[in-house]
Amino acid sequence: MPQPSFSLQAIVAQLPSTNLERTSRYYQQLGFWETGRHPTFLLLSLGGHELHFWLTDDVYLCQNSSCYLRIEGIQSFYRQLPPAVLHPNGELRECSWGMTECYLLDPDGNLLKCGEPTAAAGPITDSVISTP
């Protein structure tokens, strides 16, 4: 295959939201800041990365959407999370596929899977370890 004549700069998750204001407030708890808003679209940024949200009135779309956030320093990230942002089964865990992960649910039900390779994360020191 020939070399492309372009350079891919980023891949950005676009998630559904039933309320852009509430979505913005939730993600600000995680350290994101609002970089753009339109009547039906919201842009958030953190550390040079973006998340985009589009307005919908169908909560089913939200409850069946997810994205994965690779986090360097997952244990520190987890310790700083407000308890209200965690998925009911979202505790930090060492997974059999070699990642240390936790799961968050936003107010609409979008799932955020957050993880770091277990070798880099080290042993979990202050949380229950479970292996799904």
Mean pLDDT of 61-81: 95
Mean pLDDT of 77-81: 91
**6 lies in some domain:** no
**129 lies in some domain:** no
What is the greatest pairwise CA distance in the chain? Answer: 49
**72 lies in some domain:** yes
pLDDT in tens, 93-129: 999 999 999 999 999 999 999 999 998 778 887 544 4
pLDDT in tens, 2-36: 888 998 889 999 999 999 999 999 999 999 999 99
**23 lies in some domain:** yes
Range 77-98 burial, b when 16+ CB lie within 10 A, else e: bbeebeeebbeeebbbbbeeee
For residue 53, count other CB atoms closer than 10 A to its CB.
26
Q: How many domains does the chain have?
A: 1
**3 lies in some domain:** no
**4 lies in some domain:** no
**43 lies in some domain:** yes
pLDDT in tens, 33-42: 999 999 999 9
> At 131, is the pLDDT very low, low, confident or very high (cuts 50, 70, 90)?
very low
pTM, 2 dp? 0.85
CATH at residue 113: 3.10.180.10
> At 130, is the pLDDT very low, low, confident or very high (cuts 50, 70, 90)?
very low
Say what percent of the chain tops pLDDT 90: 75
Instruction: Report the alpha-carbon distance of residue 55 to residue 110 in Å, rounded.
Output: 13
Q: If you average pLDDT over every residue of the chain, what do you get?
A: 91
Listed residue (61, 57, 81) closest to 71, CA to CA: 81
Q: Which residue has the higher pLDDT, 63 or 132?
A: 63
Q: Report pLDDT for 14.
A: 97
User: For the residues of 82-112, what is the DSSP string, one character each?
Assistant: -GGGB-TT---EE-TTSEEEEEEE-TT--EE
**132 lies in some domain:** no
Residue span of the structural domain in which 104 resides: 13-121
